[in-house]
Every structure is written in structure tokens, then in C-alpha cells.
Amino acid sequence: MEAFLISTGLVALAEIGDKTQLLALLLAARFRKPWPIFWGILAATLANHALAGGIGLLVARWLTDDVLRWVLGIGFLAMAAWMLIPDRLDDDTPSARSRWGVFGTTCVVFFLAEMGDKTQVATVALAARFQDWLAVVAGTTLGMMIANAPAVWLGDRMAHRLPVRAIHLGAAALLAALGLWALLGW
């Protein structure tokens, strides 16, 4: 349960103000069809995080306990620093006349947007740390949906009211604590 709860909370916090949340706002404004966007985000996140969780388990098996502890500790500290850098939406946003439809466009764009993103890296690290693929993938996916689903339905009205900087600082502190926890072998 610890792996699930930490994964959910960490990713939900990390996603506030992230480019994928901005992408959810853009898709909602452009297509005005919240359900296909919601299901597209869920499908893309499940696929992306399932892959990332599997990589995390492989990494954990290949490395000795001491090396894994240092890799995870430094990785979590690096993600904490990364949280302090504001995200922006790249110019690779979908065309309003996509041949894949709203669901397909959302799936493809979200999957690609998550490649190398901090939540994907966090999923790898959390899976390696907790050695529980299902709990981590379920938790990180739920965290993504907690952050992105409201953006789909509430649009940018909600995004402007959230204290994004404070949330990023909180997520960075949590990541730094996890990094220190790993480095100190707790």
C-alpha cells in the first residue's frame, strides 16, 4: 500500500503545472469532448507507466543493493531539482483535424509527451525502489488522472487558481526526502 500511496501522491503533485496538464487544457479547449480526452489520457498513461515500471524492475534486478541505493538517491534528488524548473508546452500540439479522432490524438500525444518526462522517470525510480510494479503503475496512473482529469473538465479557470509554485516546492521536498531516505539506506 505504501508504494501505491507514495506513487499516487508524488505524481499528482508533480503533474500540477506540468506540460501534460497544459496539454490536457489545450485538448479540452480545442476538441471540447472531455470523455474521449479522459480515456485517451488514461490509456496513454497506463501504456507509458507500465513500460516505465517494467524498466524500473529490470534496473533494480541488474544493480547491486548499494549501487541501486545510490542511483535511486541521486535520481530522486535530481527529480527534486527538476521539479523546481517550470514546464512549458512544446509546439508539437495536435491538429484540430486529426485523422485519429479525439481519443487517438490524445493517446498518441500524451504517450509521446510523457517520454522522458519527470513522471516517467519517477515511475522508473519508484518501481525500482518498491519492487512492486502493479502498485507503482496503478499509483502513478491514478496520480496522473488526479492532476489531469480536472484540467479536462474545468479548463484553465482551475489552473490559474492553484498555487503551482507551492505545489512544485512541496513535490520537490518530497522527492528530496525520498532521495535522502535512499542514500541513507533507511
Give the CA distances from residue 62 to residues 57, 58, 78, 184, in Å, rounded to whole numbers and listed in that order: 9, 6, 21, 21
User: pLDDT above 70 covers what percent of the chain?
Assistant: 83
By the 10 Å C-beta count (0-12 exposed, 13-18 middle, 19+ buried), 169 is classed as: middle
User: pLDDT tier at 11 (50, 70, 90 boundaries)?
Assistant: very high
Over 90: is that where the pLDDT of 155 sits?
A: no
**CA dist 92 to 84, 89, 99, 155, Å?**
23, 8, 16, 20
Q: pLDDT tens, 88-125?
A: 544 444 444 556 789 998 998 889 888 878 889 899 99
Percent of the chain with pLDDT over 90: 37
So what's the pLDDT on residue 163?
65
Residues 87 and 183: beta-carbon distance below 8 Å: no
Q: Write down the pLDDT at residue 2.
A: 94
Lowest mean pLDDT among 2-6, 70-74, 88-92, 130-134: 88-92
DSSP letters spanning 100-154: THHHHHHHHHHHHHHTT-HHHHHHHHHHHHH--HHHHHHHHHHHHHHHHHHHHHH
pTM as predicted: 0.72
**Pick from 80, 78, 107: nearest CA to 94:** 107
Of 52 and 63, the one with more pLDDT: 52
The pLDDT of residue 156 is 45
- pLDDT at residue 180 above 50? yes
Neighbours of 150 (CB within 10 A): 15
Look at residues 20, 41, 32 and name the one whose alpha carbon lies nearest to residue 104: 41
Cβ atoms of residues 137 and 4 within 8 Å: no
Q: Which of 16-20, 92-96, 135-139 has the highest mean pLDDT?
A: 135-139
